[in-house]
C-alpha cells in the first residue's frame, strides 16, 4: 500500500509559536511507514536545518512566497497543486482555518481533498465562523472537552484532546543551579514573576505593568516582572508599545522584557543554548553582561529562573507556556475563566477569580482580572513559601503526566480515516490536483 500524502499548512513546525510546537509534536510522531508529509510553514520565511527536518516523515518543506503573504493564503493554492496530497492537515485558530477553507473552496480544491483540523476555542458564546469552520472538514478536533460540548450544543460533532507537554526536556533544576543562574542575570535578590506570550490584547501585558506599579508603591519594589514578548505588539492583534507604558508607570527597575527583541518577531522563545555553557560563564560585571547571559539561555533554563508564573490573559485555548513552566517546578497562577483554563489548570494551579468582563471581537466573553488582584496574588505567594511549594509540586506532578502520544495516536487515526473517506467520496484520486479545477 502506498503511503498517505499529508499536506500541512500552518505555523511552521520549526518555530516556537504555540501552533508551531503543536504541529511539530504531532507531525514528528507520525509513522514514517504510513505517511509522507509536505509542509507549507507560515509565519516564518526561512528553511529549517536538515537536522530539524529529519524528525518529520519524508518531509518536503515550502515557505510563503513573499513577506506580504506571511499566512500563506496565496501560496497554499500553488503548494497543493504541486504536492497533490491525499489529506489536508491544518492547525490554527478557527478564524484562520475558516479563511483557508474559503480560499480553497473558491479554487474548487476543498471538497475534493478531505481535511483534518486541530483548533482552540477561547470563549463563549460561539461566533458562527467557529461552527462554520468545524462543519467544513471531515475531521475537526478541538483542544478541550469544554470546547467539544459547546459545539455539540450547536449540533456539530467534533473530537477533543489536550496538548502534550513532553516535547522538550522540561525539568526542575536544583536550588544551587537556580541560584547560580539568577546571579548570572542579576536577579539574585528579586522575586521573579514570569509571563510568556505574544504582545496582544488578550494576553494583557499592560495590566501586569500596572500591578508592578502597585507593588512598588507598597514598598515591594524587589519584584522582577519578566515578560517574554516583543516590546511592540502587532497592531492587528491589539498589541501595545510596552516600553512607553513601563515609563509611564515608572517601573523600569521592576520590568524586564525579552532581551533579544530583534529576533523571533512572531514568537517568544530565546536562543537555544545549553545549561553547561551558561553555568560556565563568569559573574557579570555590568547590566550588558547580564542581558547577554539571559539571551544565551534556552527556554527550559529561562523558566527555571521564575519564582511564579502568572497568567492574567482574558482568553487562552490551552496556555502551553504555563504548562511548560509547571513541568519546571514553577507554581502557576491563572484566571478562573470557566472555560479552557478551568478545565486544564483547575486541578492544580491557583485560580484568580475575574474582577470584570469584556468581549472579544468574536462576541466571546473575556474574563478580566484587575491589577490590584494580580498584585495581591503576587504578595500572597511572595509571603507564603509553603503555598508556593504546594502549588508548584501539584502542578509539576499533574503536567508531567500529560504526554503527546495520545494526540499523535488520535491524529494518525483521523488522517487515515480522512484518506479512506476521500477515496469513498471521490473514487480513485486523480493524478493531478489540476484535474479537479
- 220: pLDDT strictly greater than 90: yes
Contact (CB, 8 A) for 277 and 164: no
Q: Where in the chain is the domain with CATH 3.40.50.2000?
A: 175-400
**pLDDT attached to residue 300:** 92
**Domain 4-164+403-436 class, CATH top level:** alpha beta
Q: Where in the chain is the domain with CATH 3.40.50.11930?
A: 4-164+403-436
For residues 384-411, give the mean pLDDT: 96
Contact (CB, 8 A) for 77 and 101: no
Tens-digit pLDDT profile for residues 405-427: 999 999 999 999 988 887 777 65
Tens-digit pLDDT profile for residues 332-363: 999 999 889 999 999 999 999 999 999 887 77
CATH, range 175-400: 3.40.50.2000
**pLDDT attached to residue 68:** 63
Contact (CB, 8 A) for 76 and 107: no
Q: Which residue has the higher pLDDT, 106 or 257?
A: 257
- 269: pLDDT strictly greater than 60: no
153-157, 172-176, 211-215, 398-402: lowest mean pLDDT where? 153-157
Enter the pTM of the model.
Answer: 0.89
Distance CA 71, CA 145 (A): 28
Indicate the pLDDT class of residue 216, thresholds 50, 70 and 90.
Answer: very high
Distance CA 211, CA 99 (A): 38
- 271: pLDDT strictly greater than 60: no
Tens-digit pLDDT profile for residues 65-108: 555 666 667 777 778 888 889 999 999 988 888 888 887 765 65
Contact (CB, 8 A) for 387 and 357: no
- 432: pLDDT strictly greater than 70: no
* C-alpha radius of gyration, the chain, whole number: 22
The angle subtended at Cα 421 by Cα 420 and Cα 427, nearest 5°, is 85
Tens-digit pLDDT profile for residues 142-160: 999 999 999 999 889 999 9
Amino acid at each position: 500500500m502506498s503511503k498517505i500524502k499529508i499536506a500541512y499548512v500552518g505555523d511552521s513546525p520549526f518555530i516556537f509559536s504555540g501552533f508551531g510546537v503543536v504541529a511539530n509534536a504531532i507531525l514528528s510522531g507520525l509513522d514514517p511507514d504510513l505517511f509522507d508529509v509536505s509542509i507549507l510553514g507560515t509565519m516564518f520565511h526561512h528553511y529549517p536545518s536538515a537536522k530539524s527536518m529529519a524528525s518529520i516523515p519524508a518531509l518536503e518543506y515550502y515557505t510563503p512566497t513573499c513577506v506580504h503573504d506571511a499566512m500563506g493564503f496565496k501560496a497554499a493554492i500553488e503548494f497543493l497543486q504541486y504536492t497533490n496530497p491525499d489529506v489536508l492537515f491544518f492547525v490554527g485558530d478557527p478564524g484562520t482555518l475558516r479563511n483557508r477553507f474559503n480560499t480553497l473552496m473558491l479554487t474548487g480544491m476543498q471538497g475534493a481533498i478531505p481535511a483534518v483540523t486541530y483548533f482552540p476555542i477561547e470563549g463563549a458564546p460561539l461566533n458562527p465562523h467557529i461552527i462554520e469552520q468545524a462543519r467544513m472538514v471531515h475531521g475537526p478536533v478541538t483542544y478541550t472537552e469544554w470546547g467539544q460540548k459547546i459545539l455539540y450544543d450547536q449540533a456539530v460533532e467534533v473530537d477533543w484532546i489536550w496538548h502534550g507537554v513532553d516535547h522538550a526536556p522540561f525539568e526542575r533544576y536544583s536550588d544551587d543551579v537556580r541560584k547560580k543562574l539568577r546571579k548570572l542575570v542579576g536577579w539574585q535578590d528579586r522575586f521573579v514573576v514570569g509571563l510568556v506570550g505574544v504582545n496582544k490584547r488578550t494576553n494583557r501585558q499592560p495590566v501586569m505593568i500596572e500591578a508592578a506599579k502597585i507593588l512598588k508603591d507598597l514598598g515591594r519594589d524587589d519584584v522582577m516582572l519578566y515578560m517574554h514578548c516583543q516590546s511592540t505588539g502587532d497592531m492587528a492583534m491589539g498589541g501595545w508599545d510596552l516600553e512607553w507604558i513601563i515609563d509611564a508607570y515608572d517601573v523600569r527597575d521592576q520590568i524586564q522584557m525579552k532581551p533579544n527583541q530583534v529576533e523571533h518577531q512572531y514568537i517568544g522563545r530565546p536562543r537555544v543554548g545549553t545549561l553547561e555553557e551558561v553555568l560556565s560563564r563568569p559573574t557579570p560585571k555590568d547590566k550588558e553582561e547580564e542581558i547577554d547571559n539571559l539571551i544565551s539561555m534556552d527556554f527550559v533554563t529561562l523558566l527555571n529562573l521564575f519564582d511564579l508564573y502568572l497568567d492574567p490573559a482574558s482568553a487562552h485555548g490551552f496556555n502551553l507556556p504555563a504548562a511548560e513552566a509547571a513541568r519546571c517546578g514553577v507554581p502557576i497562577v491563572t484566571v478562573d475563566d470557566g472555560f479552557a483554563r478551568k478545565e486544564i489548570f483547575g486541578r492544580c494551579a491557583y485560580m484568580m477569580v475575574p474582577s470584570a468582563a469584556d468581549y472579544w471581537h468574536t462576541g466571546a466573553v473575556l474574563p478580566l482580572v484587575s491589577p490590584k488582584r494580580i498584585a495581591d496574588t503576587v504578595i500572597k505567594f511572595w509571603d507564603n513559601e509553603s503555598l508556593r511549594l504546594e502549588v508548584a509540586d501539584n502542578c509539576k506532578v499533574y503536567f508531567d503526566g500529560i504526554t503527546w502520544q495520545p494526540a499523535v495516536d488520535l491524529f494518525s487515526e483521523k488522517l487515515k480515516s480522512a484518506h479512506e473517506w476521500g477515496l469513498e467520496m471521490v473514487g480513485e484520486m486523480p493524478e493531478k490536483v489540476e484535474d479537479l479545477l
